[in-house]
């Protein structure tokens, strides 16, 4: 039987099936037509977006970082335009000769260059922040898949002199240390954006529109005086070299306003070249390193005694035989002195005298004074890593611990805390907050710690300490009356005092109307001398003298040769 005569074909299909199939076909065409109208007429943004994604790009417009200047407007940090070289690895088909030429211009190994160009990514940085002239030479090569973009690099004209004050930024031009980090929000600004059309090689062929203009970063004017900062840095550097010391720091404060005029630390680093930066160089020791301040704390003990009426300026204290036993411990003076007035206890730096004064206080009284002076708590200047030192609760003090705190042992502080505390003697008993930025208005009202009479009497004691018979005649300055106190403390290692020292000196000038407070710390001098009066006091004199003259502060003493006792006659301070 032939296929055409099959009885199956002779049977007619039901009419409804044909109509159903036709209806399905018409419905499908209707859905497609409706979808087409929806996409191309009603909701055409989807296709438009997909099309634009092939050629339209939104690129970021960098905001220029704000400048940092000193109080006189001298530039301390500025962002300079640089270029970064990037590539589309798929398009960067370089010949060996081209790769070698590019690597030579970028001062990088050709194998590293080839490794980056072989990455399975759509975008890779080859090298960032290269000089504009190098970028121009690379552009002239017209290499496929190799592109450039403008960025900014931070430049610090003063280099290592202001490194710890300013800090630095990273490759993204964001603050990572110091002022750069503390004032990141003000300095950074906000980037903008614009829409462009690029070809398949990433080249901009049309600038379409500006979406958001960049907001430039704000400039910051610091309280820092560049000339005073340089004085502090250079004299500290010389002192560390002379005494073969491990580290050191100098802080200079304006006693009238609380402005930080200088902050120098050593070791330091060059923020413009940080390839070999180490942790020791990076530490801002004046704010992050604590030490036992030693005899620099004795003036506060004397001030509390005067304030509470327990002693007068000329009250006598028996310090013979130069030793004092409390419990199982004995306190000693470096040299026995016998009967001393309270003023002479500070002048001669008697540990026994300071301990006997402290014995008349309740522990809570001393703790409240230390707390009011800011010890044991961060100053909240905004610097990263700032610490508050160690001041234990008074309820845990034993009698021997209270006695040693009277002369700066058993308590720790940063150099900046110590400098700020001495403001009470420079400001007739009150203390104002410190500031890192220039004040263009009157400082905030001070917080009274001691009466003006107490502060002035202690100031006289401090002036006695730098005169012949005191512990720091090397702190004297021709033409100016100065006042200050030495400190020499053993370093704690593993809970025990080691045969290593921290030499310190904190002082103010001119005594008749104090303008500046200068604090100096030298860590582990190892050239034979380690007393604060021998190591730190001369640095104070050099920095203070230069700073007073730089600021135009009038002399308040006859200009005559400084009277410095000979080494053999110099009475060293007690530890």
- Residues with a catalytic annotation lie at 295
Question: 265 exposed, middle or buried (CB, 10 Å; 0-12, 13-18, 19+)?
Answer: buried
Backbone angles phi and psi of 264, in degrees to 5: -125, 140
Sign of CA dihedral 359, 360, 362, 364: negative
Question: Residue 150 belongs to what H/E stretch?
Answer: strand 146-155
E-assigned strands of 156-276?
A: 192-198, 204-212, 220-221, 247-254, 260-266
Sign of CA dihedral 231, 237, 242, 247: positive
**Distance from C-alpha of 206 to C-alpha of 153, rounded to nearest angstrom:** 28
Cβ–Cβ under 8 Å, residues 351 and 333: yes
Note the helical H segments in 349-413.
351-358, 363-372, 399-405
Number of other residues whose CB lies within 10 A of the CB of residue 471: 31
**Distance from C-alpha of 224 to C-alpha of 436, rounded to nearest angstrom:** 7
**Distance from C-alpha of 345 to C-alpha of 341, rounded to nearest angstrom:** 6
Torsion of the alpha carbons at 39, 40, 43 and 47, rounded to the nearest 10? 70
The first and second tokens of residue 49, run together, are: 């977006």
Cβ–Cβ under 8 Å, residues 461 and 299: yes
Number of other residues whose CB lies within 10 A of the CB of residue 15: 8
Determine the distance from the C-alpha atom of residue 543 to the mean position of all C-alpha atoms in its chain, rounded to a whole number: 21
The first and second tokens of residue 307, run together, are: 């304030």
Backbone angles phi and psi of 136, in degrees to 5: -65, -40
Question: Residue 425 belongs to what H/E stretch?
Answer: helix 423-426
């Amino acid at each position: 039987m032939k296929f055409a005569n099959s009885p199956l074909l002779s049977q007619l299909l039901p009419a409804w099936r044909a109509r159903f199939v036709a209806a399905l076909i018409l419905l499908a065409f209707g859905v497609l037509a409706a979808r087409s109208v929806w996409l191309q007429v009603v909701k055409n943004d989807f296709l438009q977006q997909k099309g634009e994604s092939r050629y339209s790009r939104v690129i970021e417009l960098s905001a220029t970082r704000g400048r940092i200047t000193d109080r006189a407007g001298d530039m301390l940090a500025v962002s300079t335009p640089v270029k970064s070289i990037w590539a589309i690895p798929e398009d960067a088909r370089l010949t060996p000769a081209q790769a070698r030429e590019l690597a030579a211009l970028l001062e990088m190994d050709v194998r590293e260059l080839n490794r980056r160009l072989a990455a399975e990514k759509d975008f890779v940085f080859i090298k960032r922040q290269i000089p504009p002239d190098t970028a121009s030479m690379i552009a002239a090569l017209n290499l496929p898949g190799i592109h450039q973009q403008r960025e900014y690099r931070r430049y610090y004209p003063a280099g290592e002199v202001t490194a710890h004050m300013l800090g630095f930024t990273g490759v993204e031009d964001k603050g990572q240390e110091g002022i750069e980090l503390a004032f990141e929000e003000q300095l950074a600004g906000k980037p903008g954006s614009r829409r462009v059309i690029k070809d398949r090689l990433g080249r901009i062929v049309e600038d379409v529109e500006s979406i958001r203009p960049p907001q430039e970063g704000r400039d910051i004017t610091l309280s820092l005086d560049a000339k005073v900062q340089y004085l502090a840095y250079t004299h500290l550097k010389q002192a560390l070299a002379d005494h073969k010391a491990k580290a050191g720091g100098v802080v200079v404060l304006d006693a009238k306003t609380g402005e930080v005029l200088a902050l120098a630390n050593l070791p330091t680093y060059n923020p413009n070249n940080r390839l070999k930066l180490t942790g020791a160089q990076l530490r801002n020791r004046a704010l992050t390193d604590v030490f036992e301040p030693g005899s620099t704390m004795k003036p506060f003990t004397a001030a509390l005694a005067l304030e509470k009426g327990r002693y007068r300026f000329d009250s006598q204290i028996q310090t013979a035989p130069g030793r004092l036993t409390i419990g199982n411990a004995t306190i000693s003076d470096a040299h026995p002195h016998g009967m001393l007035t309270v003023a002479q206890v500070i002048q001669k730096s008697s540990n026994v005298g300071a301990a006997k004064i402290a014995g008349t206080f309740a522990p809570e009284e001393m703790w409240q004074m230390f707390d009011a002076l800011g010890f044991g708590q961060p100053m909240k200047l905004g610097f990263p890593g700032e610490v508050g030192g160690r001041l234990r609760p008074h309820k845990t003090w034993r009698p021997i611990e209270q006695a040693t705190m009277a002369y700066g042992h058993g308590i720790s502080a940063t150099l900046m805390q110590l400098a700020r505390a001495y403001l009470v003697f420079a400001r007739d008993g009150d203390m104002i907050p410190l500031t890192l930025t220039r004040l263009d208005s009157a400082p905030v009202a001070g917080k009274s710690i001691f009466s003006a009479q107490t502060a002035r009497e202690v100031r006289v004691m401090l002036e006695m300490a730098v005169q012949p018979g005191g512990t720091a005649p090397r702190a004297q300055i021709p033409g100016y009356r100065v006042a200050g106190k030495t400190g020499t403390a053993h370093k704690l290692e593993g809970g025990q005092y080691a045969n290593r020292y921290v030499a310190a000196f904190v002082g103010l000038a001119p005594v008749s109307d104090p303008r500046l407070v200068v604090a100096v710390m030298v860590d582990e001098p190892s050239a034979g001398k380690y007393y604060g009066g021998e190591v730190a006091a001369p640095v104070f004199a050099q920095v203070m003298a230069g700073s007073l003259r730089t600021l135009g502060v009038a002399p308040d003493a006859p200009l005559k040769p400084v009277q410095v006792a000979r080494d053999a006659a110099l009475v060293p301070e007690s530890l």
